[in-house]
Amino acid sequence: MFESSDMAQLRFVPARHAAPAAALAEPLLQVENLRVRYPGAPEDVLRGVGFTLAPREFVAVIGASGSGKSTLLRAINRLVEPSAGSVRLGDIEVTALQGGALRRCRRRMGMIFQEFNLIERYRVLDNVLLGRVGSQQALRALFSIYPATMIAEAAALLDRVGLGAFLDQRVDALSGGQRQRVGICRALFQAPELLLVDEPTSSLDPRIANDIMAQIRDLAQESGVAALCNIHDVALARQFASRVIALRDGIIVHDGPFDELDEAALGGIYAATDRSRL
C-alpha cells in the first residue's frame, strides 16, 4: 500500500521511462516525507522529500549547492540521521535500524564520493577489497587475508575500468580520475543493490568527467544495480540519466524525464536557492 504522497511522486514517472510494472509494484527504494535538520541549524535541509526508485533505474539528482542533494544521499544510508520520514530499501525500514542491522543494510548500498574518500596510504587493490570490509572479520582484513577468489574478483573489476596495471600502486600516487575509478570499484565490489553516487565528477576535468559518468552508468547496468546520482553538471545529467529529480531548498521541484525541464525551469532550480543555505 502506498500513501497518497507516494502516489503523487510516482505519477511524475512517464510510461516511456518507467521501469517494468513488476518493478514499480515493488520499488527498490521508497523515500517518504524525509526531513533532515542538522544540530543547531535553524531550519530543515530536507523538507519532506519523497520518491521511489525501481530496481536497475539510473536517476540523477540535480540542484544548486545547498539544495540538499548530498544530505539526501547520506540520509538514505543513515550517515546523516533523518529527523522525520521513512526510507525503505526493499522490505526493510532503514530508518528503524540500529547497530549491526543498520551495518548489514548499508552493505546493500554502495556509495561513491565526490572526494573519493579512499585510504590514501593503501594500495589500489586493498582499497577495493575494503568494499567488503563489513562482511569480513576486521583482523583478517587488517592482515590482508582475503580469499583468492575475492582478490581475483577485485582485480577483474579494476581491469574492467582500466586500472589492471595499477593494482599494487599506492592510491596517493594516482590521478583524480584514476582515484574515482578506484572509488567506483570499491562501491561495486560491495555487490550492492543500490548505488548512491555523490557528485562523482566535481573534482575532475570535463573529458574525464564524461568517461567516469559513462563507466558508472555502464557498470551499474551490467551489475543490475539501481543508482541515485547527484550531478551538479546539468549537461551530464541530461546525457546519462533517464529520470531527473530536481531539488531546490530541500524540496523536490521536479521528478521525471529531463525533456520536461525547459530553460526557465532549470533557471528556477539553480537561481532561486535561498542564499543563507549555501
Partner 1 sequence: MSSTNTLMVLQKRRRRSLLRFLLLLALGAGLWLTLQYLNVRLERFATLFDRLGTLLATRYYPPDFEYIMRPRFLQSVLETIHMALLATLAGLLLAIPLAWLAAFNASPLPGVGKSAARVFITGARAIHEMIWAIVFIMVLGFGVLPGVLALTLGCIGFAGKLFVEEIESIDDAPVEAMRAAGAGPLAVFFFGVLPQVRTAFIGIGIYTWDVVFRSATVVGFFGAGGMGWYLRRTADQLQSDRVAAIILLIAALVVISEVISHHARTALEGRTGQRVLAR
Nearer to partner 1, 172 or 205 (CB): 172
Cell 529527523, located at residue? 83
Interface pattern 91-130 for partner 1 (x via CB under 8 A)? ---------x--xxxxx-xxx-x-xxxxxxxx-------x
Q: How far apart are CA 34 and CA 75, in angstroms?
A: 8
- Single out the segment in contact with partner 1 by CB under 8 A; choices: 132-140, 213-221, 242-250, 257-265: 132-140
Nearer to partner 1, 106 or 248 (CB): 106
- Single out the segment in contact with partner 1 by CB under 8 A; choices: 17-25, 64-72, 169-177, 245-253: 169-177
Query: For residue 11, what are the β-bridge partners?
Result: none
Q: How far apart are CA 71 and CA 74, in angstroms?
A: 5
Q: Pick from 132, 179, 217, 248: which binds partner 1 (CB under 8 A)? A: 132
User: Is residue 170 a contact residue for partner 1 (CB under 8 A)?
Assistant: yes
CB of 222 vs partner 1, minimal distance in Å: 21
Nearer to partner 1, 105 or 244 (CB): 105
Nearer to partner 1, 23 or 191 (CB): 191
Contacting partner 1 within 178-217 (CB under 8 A): 186, 190, 196
User: Is residue 145 a contact residue for partner 1 (CB under 8 A)?
Assistant: no
Nearer to partner 1, 163 or 246 (CB): 163
Q: How long is the chain?
A: 278
Q: How far apart are CA 54 and CA 199, in angstroms?
A: 21
In 3D space, the residue among 110, 109, 129 whose CA is nearest the CA of residue 119 turns out to be: 129
Q: Cα–Cα distances in Å, from 32 out to 36, 144, 204, 244, 276?
A: 12, 41, 33, 17, 26
Cell 582484513, located at residue? 141
Q: How far apart are CA 78 and CA 132, in angstroms?
A: 18
Cell 526510507, located at residue? 87
CB of 176 vs partner 1, minimal distance in Å: 12
Tell me the three state secondary structure of residue 32. Answer: strand
CB atoms within 10 A of CB 74: 17
User: Is residue 176 a contact residue for partner 1 (CB under 8 A)?
Assistant: no
Site residues, partner 1 (CB under 8 A) = 77, 79, 100, 103-107, 109-111, 113, 115-122, 130-136, 138-139, 141-142, 170, 172-173, 186, 190, 196
